[in-house]
Amino acid sequence: MTEPQPFIFDVHLDLSMNAMEWNRDLTQPLEKIRICEANQTDKPDRSMGTVCLPEMRKGNVGLCVATQIARYTKQKNPLPGWHSPAQAWAQSQGQLSWYNEVERQGELTQICNLEQLESHLEKWSTGQNKQLPIGYVLSLEGADSIITLQHLESAYEKGLRAIGPAHYGPGTYAPGTGESGPLGNGATELLREMERLNIILDVTHLSDTSLDQALDTFSGTVWASHCNCRTLVPGERQLNDHQLKRLIERGGVIGAALDAWMLIPDWQRGLTTPQSSGVKLSHVVNHIDYVCQLAGNSKHACIGTDLDGGFGLEQSPGDMESIADLQKLPSILGKRGYSTDDINNVMGLNAIDILRSAWK
């Protein structure tokens, strides 16, 4: 008799970005999405995507944190984005409209309180996941589109339950990856209002200084949705031991990301390949194990794949074809000595417990 697949909660997927900017119909089979992109060359991951709703169901990924993302790029900022906060806000609301429409079709269901969470988990526990909508918790990656605190309250009313204040570059509220320095103007007020509304703080992408300041300022629930370990892969995009310990002490979780340049050292984008480097899902487990060893238990590691977050198979572990292959992780964890309970913690229960604690 086949062992049942562990339930997976992926705490970082850019679903609406793929739908609205990459123009992928995520309700379709992955093969069809790839065929549609066969002759497109505008992005390096064309025809190499790994995520769609059918593949999520196949892999028992029944719950995810799904993002809105819209960067406001100020003058002289070379990164792509929108040229005003108003445009960024409008883009984020267009992405929300996509979530709402796919929810109307029965493909997704928004989870924003404890009752909805427990009801959703109960339905998925029956094993009839092919007929069930996938649950999503709405998160905002980069807070540039929050023009005023009234916009934040409006977003909360529409289901927003987590925010990462920064993304890449010089953000409005905090410097992100590739930048250094403290929190920006208005950040303290933003964090205080997030705390009042019980919105989770995602420290992913924060600069070292702003991450420490954010944790000092914010006393609510925290997590790092898609971060790996700097000791294993140098670079400020990863978390150092001090940061990991602060998150562990706060009861937070750290989601292991599958972007290859965050899994192994010395990855060169556009040059290194999964085949040439040998990067595999076992390297994901290396980062999970590092967090567990630092914590002394399995309660603070989780999965935050960031799959198709601007990359596809060309920059993913070489032994995976789609998000459904997350189901290979339990076997690797088991061979490292992790018990069934530990494995279930990492694959989903730890992050679920964070929501339960935040929403009780």
| Tens-place pLDDT, residues 95-106 | 999 999 999 999
| pLDDT average, residue stretch 157-183 | 96
Closest-CA residue to 308 (of 26, 6, 110): 26
pLDDT reported for residue 271: 96
Q: Which CATH architecture has domain 8-359?
A: Alpha-Beta Barrel (3.20)
How many whole angstroms separate alpha carbon 333 and alpha carbon 123? 27
Between 216 and 270, where is the model more confident?
A: 216
- Range 22-34 average pLDDT: 98
Asked if pLDDT for residue 127 goes beyond 80, the answer is no
Residue whose C-alpha is closest to residue 282's, from 306, 260, 253: 260
The alpha carbon torsion through 156, 159, 162, 167 (nearest 10 deg) reads: -90
Q: How far, CA to CA in Å, does 36 sit from each of 9, 32, 95, 330? A: 28, 6, 21, 33
Buried b (16+ CB within 10 A) or exposed e, 225-259: bbbbbbebbeebbbbeeebbebbbebebbbbbbbb
The pLDDT value given to residue 74 = 83
**Mean pLDDT over residues 41-60, rounded?**
96
pLDDT at res. 2 = 61
* Position 126 pLDDT exceeds 90: no
Q: Residue 1 pLDDT more than 60?
A: no
pLDDT of 43 > 60? The answer is yes
Q: Which helix (H) or strand (E) segment is 8 a member of?
A: strand 8-13
For residue 129, is pLDDT > 90? no
pTM surpassing 0.85? yes
Structural domain boundaries in the chain: 8-359
- Residues listed for the chain: 360
Mean pLDDT, residues 7-30 taken together: 98
β-pairing verdict for 254-256 and 222-223: unpaired
Compute the 3-state secondary structure of the chain and give helix, strand, coil in percent, each to the nearest 5.
40, 15, 45
Q: Which of 149, 150, 159, 132 is nearest to 68 (CA)?
A: 159
- The predicted model gives 247-253 an average pLDDT of 98
